[in-house]
């Protein structure tokens, strides 16, 4: 579930984290990916889907599958707590998905910029609770609409 901070609170937290941790999402230690939530544990499975959107130069009159967001494999994803400390990191698989074990609390999730996408995905604020899996989507955009 996401927090109730709204855009202003999320933007403030993301800006503060950017100042504390730098702009990139890359974890210099390489990170890990793939754990799941274990019943009774104090961690939660946080699934992050990284997508690329804006492949069409106009909005079609009818929905078109080639305009749908696409999975982005091999993208670095990091999760930081409210103080800016690294909580978890990993890289997306071929389906643009990474599953990370995170402790309960407020977190900011971000991904590295992606070549070919002029608009990076905005950091996402998420609140986790023990044993309650959470899924979020980070979308990079080409800038074409």
Domain contains 95: yes
DSSP string across 1-40: ---S-HHHHHHHHHHHHHHHH-S----TT-------PPTT
Domain contains 114: yes
Give the pLDDT of residue 115. Answer: 86
Q: What is the number of helices (H) and of strands (E) in the chain?
A: 1, 8
In whole angstroms, give the CA distance from residue 44 to residue 105.
Answer: 10
Residue with tokens 């991904």: 111
Give the pLDDT of residue 50. Answer: 94
Res. 62: pLDDT tops 80: no
Q: What's the CATH code of the domain at 94?
A: 2.60.40.10
Burial status of residue 69 (CB atoms within 10 A of its CB: 0-12, 13-18, 19 or more)? middle
Domain contains 35: no
pTM equals 0.67
Burial status of residue 123 (CB atoms within 10 A of its CB: 0-12, 13-18, 19 or more)? buried
Residue with tokens 């599958």: 65
User: Binning pLDDT at 50, 70 and 90, where does residue 114 land?
Assistant: confident
Res. 135: pLDDT tops 80: yes
In whole angstroms, give the CA distance from residue 10 to residue 13.
Answer: 5
Range of the domain at 84: 47-57+68-145
Domain contains 28: no
Number of domains in the chain: 1
Domain contains 5: no
Q: Mean pLDDT over residues 15-44, rounded?
A: 45
Domain contains 84: yes
Domain contains 106: yes
User: Binning pLDDT at 50, 70 and 90, where does residue 98 land?
Assistant: very high
Give the pLDDT of residue 111. Answer: 94
Domain contains 121: yes
Q: What percent of the chain has pLDDT over 90?
A: 43
């Amino acid at each position: 579930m996401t927090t109730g901070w709204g855009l202003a609170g999320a933007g403030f937290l993301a800006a503060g984290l950017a100042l504390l941790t730098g702009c990139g999402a890359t974890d210099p230690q390489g990170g890990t990916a793939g754990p799941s939530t274990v019943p009774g544990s104090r961690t939660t499975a946080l699934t992050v889907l990284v997508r690329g959107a804006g492949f069409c130069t106009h909005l079609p009159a009818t929905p078109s599958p080639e305009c749908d967001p696409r999975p982005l494999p091999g993208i670095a994803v990091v999760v930081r707590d409210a103080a800016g400390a690294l909580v978890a990191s990993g890289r997306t698989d071929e389906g643009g998905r990474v599953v990370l074990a995170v402790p309960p609390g407020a977190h900011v999730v971000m991904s590295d910029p992606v070549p070919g996408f002029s608009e990076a995905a905005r950091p996402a604020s998420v609140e986790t609770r023990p044993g309650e899996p959470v899924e979020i989507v980070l979308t990079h955009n080409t800038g074409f609409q």
